[in-house]
Structure 1
Amino acid sequence: MSLNDKVIVVTGASSGIGALAAQMLSEQGATVVLAARSVDKLQEVSTGMMGAYKLLELNVGDQHSVDSGFKQIYDEFGRIDCLINNAGYGSFQYCDEMPVEEFAEMMNVNYLGVVRCTKAVLPMMKAASSGRIVNVASIAGKIGTSKSTAYTATKHAVLGFSSALRQEVREYGITVSTINPGPIDTPFFNIADPEGHYVNNVKWFMMKPERVAKAMVAAVRTGTTEVNLPWVAGVGAKFYQLFPRLADVLSYRMLNKK
């Protein structure tokens, strides 16, 4: 799919891979709606935009904000050709130490945020018999690790939602892609790992954000079903599915670095 003049919404566009993907999409001729809670940060990102864009204050964890925000987009552009559900966060804590309220809030943002935004675009995409939905999940949604019970559950939910949705919308010419990256060198860890313990342990394995952003843009162009990054993590996820007990034993020390 050519990106020229396509209207593409990127949530969580104020930093990290969302900001980079928005800039890359702009370079390729798309009209990009950069959506996030912080307008100040969005304005900083917008300095790297090459083409037409719109800044949208949006909280994916709030239904009213989503309803109001997407109405603004449709009022201005009349359509949305692609939605990139990228907004989300993580916090690494042991299950018995994390309050239930934090489990609920992370699920509200990381999973229900995807649901809210997807439901906002589906009616028009169905009517147009076309559209792209790209959901940024995580390899954590396939391989659980210590101190990430809440985060892993949210990304597992995104993967399940995406798989089922893909079957629902196939007949309408709509594609649903998932991007499943491992650890990325972004501000995500400012909240998830404020002391830097995990980052220090996996620094050798962390990916540059540009690599993941390029995969997001490629998914918009091709409508590919799933991208696992890095490829070795995808292989590990397959091995885990086939031999879960053995994988637990072999991977315990390697994966539990938090």
Structure 2
Amino acid sequence: MKTTNHLQDKVVFITGASSGLGEQIAYEAALKGATVVVAARSLDKLKVVKENCEKISGKKAYLFSLDIADPEEIEATFNEIIETVGPIDVLINNAGFGHFESVLTTDMSIAEDMFRVNVLGLMYTSQLAAIHMADRKTGHIINIASMAGKMATPKSTIYSASKFAVIGYTNALRLELKPLSIQVSTVNLGPVKTSFFDKADKNGDYLEKVDKLVLDPKEVAYKVVKMIGSSKRELNLPKSMEIASRFYTLFPTAGDYLATTLFDKK
């Protein structure tokens, strides 16, 4: 594969990179010449991703075992990356999980775990990255949120709440870091064809039901990496769901109807 100089020698740190979208973002960053740093809990899968990144870029890549729900582990990992690799130029917060179930039967321990991973873990990594980027007056933080954070649907109460939180946090972070020349962007996605749904969808048929809306992780990764270094505040995919979310905001009553009919496939 031929690389470009879009991210030549930039350190790109990706969480949740052992599979799915995170893995594809790692490959796309490597293709653009980045020094790729991947982190997740599964070291065996990460080793494969690291090796593939090195084949693509022709340069050393790095891996770190990381439980994004553990603040002390996050801080230790950041310190080690900066000491062994160098300053982080780009942080892509991709780690997260979902769970689709009626609020009446959901075990609230799932809600606590989800907020530790989807929200608090993201906040810890964003803060640490921002602190180091502020010293150099440069950098880009990209937080992977969800269209569920713009338009909630039944059986995604906890997940939607976590992604609403991510969007709100990222919007405020963007404003706060702008004077420091640090870019902050949100990626709001509909369903992506990854192993995410192995855990989120207990019935196992959600992707089939929303087949026309399902995104290809490679195509999404290309668009995410293309954002790096730009002032683009949001990437919303697919376009049909972006339009629906705008309609939902402008016409909430009708939006509720759409959310419980057209987009309620869980």
TM-score, normalising length from structure 2?
Answer: 0.94
Matched, 1:16 2:24: no
2:6 corresponds in structure 1 to 2
Which residue identity does 1:232 align to in structure 2? S
1:232 corresponds in structure 2 to 240
Matched, 1:207 2:211: no
Deviation string, structure 1 residues 19-70 (Cα, Å, up to 9, x no partner): 0010110111100101111110101222321232101111111011101111
**Aligned pairs for 1:121-200 within 5 A:** 121-200=129-208
**Secondary structure class of the residue paired with 1:19:** helix
Alpha-carbon distance between aligned partners in 2 of 1:194 and 1:246, rounded to the nearest angstrom: 29
**Aligned pairs for 1:40-119 within 5 A:** 40-49=44-53, 50-51=56-57, 52-119=60-127
By how many angstroms is 1:122 displaced? 1.4
Residues 250, 59 of structure 1: alpha-carbon distance in 2 compared, 3 angstrom cutoff: closer
Deviation string, structure 1 residues 73-94 (Cα, Å, up to 9, x no partner): 0101230101000000001111
Tell me which moved more, 132-141 or 211-220. Answer: 211-220
**Secondary structure class of the residue paired with 1:255:** coil
Alpha-carbon distance between aligned partners in 2 of 1:223 and 1:66, rounded to the nearest angstrom: 27
1:36 corresponds in structure 2 to 40
**Secondary structure class of the residue paired with 1:215:** helix
Cα RMSD, aligned residues only: 1.2
Given that residues 100 and 202 in structure 2 are in contact (C-alpha distance below 8 angstroms), is that contact kept between their aligned partners in structure 1?
A: no
Given that residues 137 and 159 in structure 1 are in contact (C-alpha distance below 8 angstroms), is that contact kept between their aligned partners in structure 2?
A: yes
- Counting aligned pairs with the same residue, the percent is 39
Matched, 1:249 2:253: no
Alpha-carbon distance between aligned partners in 2 of 1:193 and 1:106, rounded to the nearest angstrom: 15
Which residue identity does 2:164 align to in structure 1? H
Which residue identity does 1:235 align to in structure 2? I
TM-score, normalising length from structure 1?
Answer: 0.97
**Secondary structure class of the residue paired with 2:232:** coil
Unpaired stretches in structure 2, ≥5 consecutive residues: none
By how many angstroms is 1:252 displaced? 2.1
By how many angstroms is 1:251 displaced? 4.1
